[in-house]
C-alpha cells in the first residue's frame, strides 16, 4: 500500500490549529439567530500549493473570513467552512474534483447563501474556463463574493463582474509567474547535477549510497545482463528472498524495471527527460551498465529466446532453415536412444513444422564452435570493445519499441470493430500490421545488439575457456551463444538417420 494519502493526513487539521478564541468565534457565528442576522455567509478555502503551509495557511484563511463575517451587522455563518484539500490550483489532474466546493455551489444554487467569503479569487476558481462558467452561476443567484485578501465583488452589478474578471486574470498571471520561477529553479538544480529531491532506491536521504540497496541493484543488474533474467523473475526472486522494497509491501515487475532503468543509479542527472550530465551523487552502476539495462529492459516483454525459463541450450535461439521461426524443444522420440529434439513450431505457433533434429549432437556442435570461437585470441576484446552505444541511442530505441507496441495495441483494438467482409479495410490492416511487425523486428535486433556486449564481461581474463565453459550456468551459456553466433537448422532429406553436421549452419555474429 502507498503511504497515507495526503487527504487523510491533512483532513481536518486546519481545525486543530485554531486557538480557543477562534473556535469560540466559529461557534458563535454558526449559532447566530437568523432573524437578527438574515444574511447567510459561507466560507470557502483551499490548501495552498506550498506544502509547508497547507494546514496553517487554510486556518489563517478561515480566521480572516470569520473576523470579516463578525464585523457585518446582519451576517451569520450558514454552514461549517467548506475546505478542499486539493493540492494546487493549476497543477495536478485536470478537472480534479473538489467535493466541498461542489457542496458549497449546491447551496448557492438553492439560494441558501448570500455571500461567499474566500481568501483570494484563485482559491475559488482555478482557471479562466472555470471562472467564466461559475461566475455566471453566482451572478444568477446574486451572490456577493468577499475576498479577504483582495477586493469585494458584487456580482449582481456589471462593474462587479468586470472587476472579478480582471482580478481573476491577475491571479492567473501570478500563478504562471510562480510556476515559471520554480521551473527555472529546477532547471538550475539540474544543471548543477543536484538531486531533484525525493527518495530514490539505492540511496538514503541526500542521495548517500545505501549499501544494502546498492548491493541489491548490482546483483539484479548482473542477473539481468548475464543470465537473461527478466523483471518478473527479478520481482519473484526478491519476494522469495524476503528483500523489502522501499515503499510497497512486495516487489512488482514494474517497480523492478523502474529501479533498474533509473538513470539516477548511474549517477546521471536528467531534467525533463533530457540528459543534463553527471549528477553530484555517487553512481551505483556504471553508465555502460545503465545503457545496457535500458536496452535490455525496454519495451514490455522480452524478445523471443530471452526467457530464463528455457531448459534447453538452443530453444528460442536456433532457427528453422525452412521458415526462420525459432525452434522449440520437442517431446522425446519414441526410442529412448534419440532423446529430445529441436523442432520448428506448428503453423499456429508461427512455424512450419518443417525441421526436427535430435538435441544432443546439435548442442555439442554449437558448444564446441562457441568454445573455439571464444578461444580465438582477440575475439572477446572485439566484442567487448565494439563501440558502446551512447545513451541517447539506447533511449531512442527504448522509446520507439514502446511506441511500436502501443501502436500494435491500438491497431488491435481498432481491428476489433472492423467489418470482416470489407476487403479494402482488410488489405489496409494487413499493411499496417506488416509495418509494425517489421519495425519491431528491426528495433528488437538493435536492442539485442546493444545489450549483447555485456555477456562477454568476465570472460576476458579466462585462460582455459573450454574448462570455464563447463562451469557456466545454462542461462549464461545461452546468453553467450545468442550473442556470439546464429544457429540455423537446415532440412535434410527424408529417411536420414545419421546426424549431419553440415545441416547445422553456425554463423558468427558481427561485433557491433
CB of 296 to Zn ion, least distance (A): 28
Binding range to Zn ion, per CB under 5 A, among 133-141, 148-156, 205-213, 321-329: 321-329
CB of 439 to Zn ion, least distance (A): 23
CB of 493 to Zn ion, least distance (A): 16
Give the torsion sign (CA, 26, 28, 29, 30): positive
How would you list the strands of the sheet with 485-489, edge to edge? 319-320, 485-489, 504-508
Q: Which is nearer to Zn ion, 68 or 357 (CB)?
A: 357
d(CA 57, CA 52): 9
Q: Which is nearer to Zn ion, 40 or 489 (CB)?
A: 489
Q: Which is nearer to Zn ion, 193 or 354 (CB)?
A: 354
Q: How far is CA 78 from CA 15, 27, 30, 170, 324, in A?
A: 18, 11, 6, 30, 77
According to the binding rule CB under 5 A, does residue 224 interact with Zn ion? no
d(CA 431, CA 425): 10
CB of 352 to Zn ion, least distance (A): 3
Contact (Cβ atoms closer than 8 angstroms) between residue 63 and residue 136: no
Dihedral angle of Cα 439, 440, 441, 445, to the nearest 10 degrees: 110
User: What are phi and psi for residue 112, nearest 5 degrees?
Assistant: -95, 5
Q: Which is nearer to Zn ion, 198 or 493 (CB)?
A: 493
How would you list the strands of the sheet with 341-343, edge to edge? 328-329, 341-343, 356-358
According to the binding rule CB under 5 A, does residue 321 interact with Zn ion? no
Q: Which is nearer to Zn ion, 165 or 345 (CB)?
A: 345
According to the binding rule CB under 5 A, does residue 326 interact with Zn ion? no
d(CA 338, CA 361): 10
CB of 355 to Zn ion, least distance (A): 6
Q: The cell 444574511 sits on which residue?
A: 39
Binding Zn ion by CB under 5 A: which of 352, 386, 408, 503? 352
3-state secondary structure 207-220: HCECHHHHHHHHHH
According to the binding rule CB under 5 A, does residue 320 interact with Zn ion? yes
Binding range to Zn ion, per CB under 5 A, among 43-51, 171-179, 277-285, 317-325: 317-325
Number of shown-chain residues binding Zn ion (CB under 5 A): 8
Binding Zn ion by CB under 5 A: which of 323, 388, 474, 512? 323
Binding range to Zn ion, per CB under 5 A, among 119-127, 220-228, 287-295, 354-362: 354-362
Binding range to Zn ion, per CB under 5 A, among 23-31, 215-223, 234-242, 312-320: 312-320
E strands, 232-296, in order: 268-271, 274-278
According to the binding rule CB under 5 A, does residue 317 interact with Zn ion? no
According to the binding rule CB under 5 A, does residue 344 interact with Zn ion? yes
Contact (Cβ atoms closer than 8 angstroms) between residue 241 and residue 256: no
CB of 287 to Zn ion, least distance (A): 41
CB of 476 to Zn ion, least distance (A): 28
Binding range to Zn ion, per CB under 5 A, among 4-12, 170-178, 291-299, 313-321: 313-321
CB of 504 to Zn ion, least distance (A): 15
Contact (Cβ atoms closer than 8 angstroms) between residue 82 and residue 58: no
Helices within 72-120 (DSSP H only): 99-109
According to the binding rule CB under 5 A, does residue 351 interact with Zn ion? yes
Contact (Cβ atoms closer than 8 angstroms) between residue 138 and residue 109: no
Contact (Cβ atoms closer than 8 angstroms) between residue 235 and residue 251: yes
CB of 462 to Zn ion, least distance (A): 36
According to the binding rule CB under 5 A, does residue 354 interact with Zn ion? yes
Percent helix, percent strand, percent coil in the chain, to nearest 5? 50, 10, 35
CB of 305 to Zn ion, least distance (A): 15
| Interface positions with Zn ion (CB under 5 A) | 320, 322-323, 325, 344, 351-352, 354
Amino acid at each position: 500500500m502507498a503511504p497515507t494519502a495526503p487527504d487523510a493526513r491533512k483532513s481536518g487539521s486546519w481545525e486543530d490549529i485554531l486557538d480557543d478564541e477562534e473556535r469560540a468565534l466559529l461557534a458563535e457565528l454558526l449559532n447566530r439567530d437568523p432573524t437578527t442576522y438574515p444574511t447567510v455567509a459561507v466560507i470557502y478555502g483551499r490548501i495552498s500549493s506550498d506544502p509547508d503551509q497547507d494546514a496553517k495557511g487554510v486556518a489563517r484563511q478561515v480566521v480572516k473570513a470569520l473576523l470579516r463575517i463578525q464585523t457585518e451587522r446582519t451576517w451569520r455563518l450558514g454552514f461549517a467552512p467548506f475546505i478542499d484539500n486539493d493540492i494546487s490550483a493549476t497543477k495536478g489532474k485536470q478537472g480534479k474534483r473538489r467535493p466541498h466546493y461542489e457542496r458549497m455551489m449546491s447551496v448557492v444554487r438553492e439560494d441558501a447563501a448570500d455571500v461567499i467569503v474566500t481568501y483570494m479569487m484563485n482559491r475559488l476558481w482555478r482557471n479562466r474556463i472555470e471562472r467564466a462558467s461559475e461566475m455566471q452561476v453566482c451572478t444568477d443567484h446574486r451572490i456577493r463574493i468577499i475576498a479577504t485578501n483582495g477586493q469585494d465583488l458584487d456580482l449582481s452589478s456589471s462593474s462587479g463582474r468586470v472587476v472579478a474578471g480582471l482580478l481573476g486574470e491577475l491571479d492567473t498571471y501570478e500563478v504562471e509567474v510562480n510556476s515559471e520561477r520554480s521551473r527555472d529553479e529546477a532547471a538550475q538544480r539540474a544543471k548543477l547535477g543536484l538531486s531533484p529531491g525525493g527518495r530514490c532506491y539505492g540511496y538514503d536521504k541526500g542521495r548517500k549510497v545505501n549499501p544494502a540497496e546498492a548491493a541489491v541493484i548490482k546483483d539484479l543488474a548482473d542477473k539481468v545482463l548475464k543470465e537473461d533474467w527478466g523483471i518478473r523473475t527479478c520481482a519473484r526472486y526478491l519476494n522469495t528472498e524476503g528483500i523489502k522494497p522501499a515503499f510497497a509491501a512486495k516487489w512488482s515487475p514494474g517497480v523492478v524495471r523502474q529501479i533498474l532503468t533509473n538513470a539516477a543509479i548511474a549517477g546521471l542527472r536528467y531534467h525533463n527527460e533530457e540528459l543534463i550530465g553527471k549528477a553530484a551523487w555517487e553512481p551505483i552502476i556504471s553508465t555502460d551498465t545503465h545503457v545496457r539495462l535500458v536496452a535490455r529492459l525496454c519495451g514490455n516483454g522480452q524478445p523471443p529466446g530471452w526467457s530464463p525459463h528455457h531448459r534447453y541450450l538452443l530453444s528460442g535461439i536456433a532457427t528453422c532453415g525452412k521458415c526462420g521461426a525459432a525452434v522449440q524443444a520437442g517431446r522425446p522420440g519414441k526410442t529412448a536412444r534419440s532423446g529430445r529434439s529441436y523442432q520448428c513450431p506448428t503453423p499456429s505457433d508461427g512455424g512450419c513444422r518443417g525441421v526436427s533434429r535430435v538435441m544432443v549432437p546439435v548442442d555439442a556442435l554449437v558448444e564446441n564452435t562457441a568454445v573455439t570461437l571464444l578461444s580465438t585470441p582477440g575475439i572477446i576484446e572485439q566484442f567487448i570493445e565494439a563501440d558502446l552505444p551512447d545513451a541517447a541511442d539506447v533511449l531512442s530505441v527504448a522509446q520507439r519499441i514502446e511506441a511500436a507496441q502501443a501502436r500494435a495495441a491500438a491497431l488491435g483494438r481498432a481491428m476489433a470493430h472492423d467489418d470482416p467482409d470489407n476487403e479494402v479495410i482488410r488489405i489496409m490492416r494487413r499493411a499496417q500490421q506488416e509495418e509494425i511487425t517489421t519495425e519491431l523486428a528491426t528495433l528488437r535486433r538493435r536492442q539485442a545488439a546493444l545489450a549483447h556486449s555485456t555477456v562477454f564481461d568476465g570472460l576476458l581474463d579466462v585462460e582455459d575457456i573450454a574448462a570455464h565453459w563447463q562451469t557456466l550456468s545454462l542461462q549464461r551459456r545461452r546468453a553467450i551463444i545468442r550473442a556470439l553466433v546464429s544457429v540455423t537448422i537446415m532440412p535434410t532429406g527424408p529417411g536420414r538417420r545419421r546426424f549431419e553436421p553440415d545441416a547445422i549452419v553456425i554463423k558468427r555474429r558481427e561485433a557491433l
